[in-house]
Structure 1
Amino acid sequence: MKINSVKNFLLPFAICFLLAMGLYPDSTLDPTLYSTEGLELDYNISDDLAMVEHKKPKSNIFTPHLGKSFEGFKEALAFKESRGDYFTVNTLGYLGKYQFGAETLKLIGIYNPNQFLYNPELQEKAFLANASRNKWVLRKDIKRFNGKLISGVKITESGILAAAHLAGPGSVKKFLRSYGDNNFSDAYGSTVRYYMKKFSGYDTSVIEPNKKAKAKL
């Protein structure tokens, strides 16, 4: 190791120097007698051996904050559905990042589930098309119930659309018009009420209601 080489050289040099001082205590030392010119001295040692104070990593690393935007809405919903995994299939056969069923895909013009599963761009378009279709089906209910309190939950457009993604617009209509008495639950225990509450207050104004919305590349 380089650090040992330096020690091995300097130790005898220091001893000789001290002996010289002892032998000639009154003499004036001539620095030129102790020159290191021509010697190969390497004082470079690695950081892991040296006592170096490293700079702390910056704590202000940029991370996107989606908040209550539409992007925040769809990513939060995707995380709940599949943890954002485009290529997953659950135990009931629901597909992709947003967990679509084959029948729902047919409604928005997708007839090849396998092609859908391996195409992230198509999945994003499918999410938007399905939300547009649901918004059209539920347009009157959104207008009627938005801002009201039902079963302890403040009703918002984004909550309605999230619940429609879970259970279909028909189940959402039943929940709203029964004032919470008819609360659909899926096979994993997620309910319309739960989605209404969890996804409340996002900005989904970008979604245009469209009865005939289709997912096209």
Structure 2
Amino acid sequence: MKKNKIQVLLLFVSIIALILVSVQEEPQYNTDLSLFSTKDMQLDYNLCNESNMPIIKQEKTFTPNLGQSLIAFKEVLGFKESQNDYSKVNTLGYLGKYQFGRTTLEMIGIYDTNLFLNTPELQEKAFFANTERNKWILRRDIKRFVGKRINGSVITESGILAAAHLAGPGNVKKYLRSYGKNAFSDAFGTSIKYYMKRFSGFDTSSIVPNQRPKVSLDSDLNF
């Protein structure tokens, strides 16, 4: 019996000791702050100071300046016609980047419209061939009217050729020879007058008039 009392007493003492240890506060450390100083130290070395930042020169993105060149002429016209989309077919059935009609394509030797739509190189060749043909048809009118003013716009060769692409050379002849009275607009309301002004002043002098141009994938494309 006495032995059991001793065991109970020891157990009680052990429990008390554990409780005291668990609630004992962590030891406090006293630090002498006088030993540390920031005197003469540059404390902002890792901060962003815009006045001291090195100037980094960015390379300019190269953008070709096509100016009023022949390439600029065809690219601006292509964007106006289709936003330069080679696969576009509009609601009236006009095809490709330059919105050719099937009859016009056949006149320059293109009969396979699926091949035409899927071959950008053929479309570019078709554009130049048709422009050569229009320039041959309108050669006398170009000589006669370039430099004159019709409906408030100075007539230029590139304006005439662009208008011929829109309306056909026959309608351009009527417009010029009537001094703008015999006007023409396409099904979407775009007029010869607008094309004459929008495409004025491009250098189309390298386009050689050609009465019967023919296009094939084997033919040369020079521009």
Question: What is the TM-score with the length of structure 2 in the denominator?
Answer: 0.73
> 2:163 matched to 1:163?
yes
Q: Distance in 2 between matches of 1:54 and 1:123?
A: 51
Structure 1 equivalent of residue 119 of structure 2: 119
Matches within 5 A, 1:33-44: none
Q: Identity over the aligned pairs, expressed in percent?
A: 62
- Residue identity matched to 1:22: D
**Distance of aligned partners of 1:57 and 1:82 in 2 relative to their CA distance in 1, 3 Å threshold:** farther
Q: Distance in 1 between matches of 2:127 and 2:75?
A: 11
Cα deviation, 1:11-37, whole Å, max 9, x if unaligned, reads: xxxxxxxx67519x68xxxxxxxxxxx
Structure 2 equivalent of residue 198 of structure 1: 198
Structure 2 equivalent of residue 73 of structure 1: 73
Aligned positions, number? 175
Shift of 1:55: 7.4
Q: Distance in 2 between matches of 1:171 and 1:119?
A: 29
Q: Distance in 2 between matches of 1:59 and 1:154?
A: 40
Structure 2 equivalent of residue 110 of structure 1: 110
Structure 1 equivalent of residue 139 of structure 2: 139
Q: Distance in 2 between matches of 1:197 and 1:80?
A: 13
Indicate the structure (1 or 2) with the bigger Cα radius of gyration: 2
> 2:18 matched to 1:22?
no
Structure 1 consecutive aligned stretches of length 4 or more whose deviation exceeds 6 Å = 50-57
Q: Distance in 2 between matches of 1:184 and 1:81?
A: 17
Task: Mark the runs of 5 or more structure 2 residues left unpaired by the alignment.
Answer: 1-28, 36-46, 218-223
Task: Mark the runs of 5 or more structure 1 residues left unpaired by the alignment.
Answer: 1-18, 27-49
Shift of 1:102: 0.3
Question: What is the TM-score with the length of structure 1 in the denominator?
Answer: 0.75
